Chain A
């Protein structure tokens, strides 16, 4: 091929590009494994509620064809076909929907079923963001895989900026010891490596169990009493007050109880690695401000 013809071909390809002529997309996940698709995905299956939210955040919501239980945000996701639970997928239903990209939850999806899907040749992308930057990155990566870079990168940047604003606002805030209760029985909390732990730190809180070795430690009430947090926070449906913190009310010697710093935040935004962490962070920061006023 002559040089002129090659240049002409290249120019014409570049002119055609905006028309969405198929071009391969490649993305590396957070463990360095690379996934390449022949063309941006058109039928995406998300195997966790968080992945569903992230796919919508990346601008690929109209390409999602299969979700699992509890994929309840955004509202459009409620109408999507279900393929089981994130711990137990209905493989037949998933295959019947012919996805060309499967977003999996690295530690949450059953390894045996994931191996089976891999053996069947489905393109799979595992996610498990553990930091705010990780959340932004995943949104960008998903938007590349879905060919919706414009919306995805914009959303990722909006999230980054939002977190930066909160970080600046609370950089010099007075530290306040916090206990975050994940579950009542067994009593579970999180350490500083968990996203919830990072939200607490963002707001100037000090997670009393932050340096525990396990990500989600199971502790006893005695240890909580010993560390004497000044605020106790838990997640509930839409942040409404329920009975999850009633057990602490009888320990009137606890600082958090004495100052009535038992707070409820909406459970879903804080428990998922999605852009809703911004609202969740603002909620938690606001509660900690209340606690600081009562110091």
Chain B
């Protein structure tokens, strides 16, 4: 168990170093080392410390957040098709962010608005799914999907009425872009905090995955655990979307890829998702900013193009 985590950790570190070295200006390892020691040319220092390091750390944190959120959603809803956005969180965040862009607000208000939108979406779905009677996974899923469609309609409306010069900015936000992240620290802190909170509960999550009845029979307090997962997954998704817009694919596929290789023990899958999701997004972002440089691609395009063949290969191999 720890061995697979250590291997993943090593791969993550290698990906991070690769991302720092490669870009429109390639920085050799010796120059990297010089900058870390405090020397190195002014250009390399600016590139590395002001541009690449925050961006790479933000990519890692966002990938980790999305993958863990996806894993948690898949446990909560007991549905392999669940991803962090299925309950409308990214839709709510998008409406918040686009509203802020429409009214000409600065980057800080846009992020805050996105976060507020995601939290509103979380409360909305929770409140609507509650209703009278029990709060089942399928009821939550259905409510979430319908509310997500509602957010989608509002987004389409906003895109239709916005002045043309604001459109590219909004579209790029919707496609997801790690370069928006001004600082990676909120995302990293939230990720570490979430892992710290959820790891002790991972055993109970394993039991919950078998079904609420069996879990209750085995002594797991099901309702509080489900609420905890819901709020935590929402927080992770909201932070990820606030940092880098709605990047698709990572949350859905990374947990499945890991399950094919490592089995379905949440005690491994959750931390592994953080590492693997982060690595995937760091590699995808490195490609996105270099493959047709100086043109910049949105990272969501690369995650899908990289992830789909990888997943199909793993699926094929596991048969």
Chain A positions within 8 Å of B, measured between CB atoms, are 69, 82-85, 87-93, 95-96, 98, 107-108, 110-113, 115-116, 119-120, 188, 214-216, 218
Contact = CB atoms under 8 A, between A and B. Distances in A.
**Binding site secondary structure of chain A:** mixed
Contacts of B169: 87, 110-112
B189 interface: no
A82 B293 CA distance: 9
A90 B106 contact: no
Contacts of B50: 119-120
Contacts of A111: 106-107, 169
Contacts of A215: 163
Interface of B: 23-25, 43, 46-47, 50-52, 106-107, 163-165, 168-169, 172, 179-180, 182, 289, 293-296
A215 B51 CA distance: 35
Given A85-B295, A116-B182, A216-B163, 18 more contacts: A69-B295, A88-B172, A88-B295, A89-B296, A90-B294, A91-B179, A92-B23, A93-B25, A95-B25, A96-B24, A98-B43, A108-B165, A110-B172, A112-B179, A115-B107, A116-B51, A120-B46, A216-B165
Contacts of A120: 46, 50
A84 B163 contact: no
Given A92-B25, A120-B46, A83 B294 contact: yes
A29 to B, nearest CB: 18
A107 B165 contact: yes
Nearest to B166: A107
Contacts of A107: 165
A99 B137 CA distance: 56
Given A108-B165, A110-B172, A95 B51 contact: yes
Nearest to A86: B168
Given A82-B294, A83-B294, A92 B163 contact: no
Closest 6 CB pairs of A and B: A90-B294, A92-B24, A87-B168, A93-B24, A84-B294, A93-B294
Contacts of A92: 23-25, 47, 51-52, 289
Contact of B24 (A90, A110, A214): A90
B295 A90 contact: yes
Contacts of B23: 92
Nearest to A182: B164
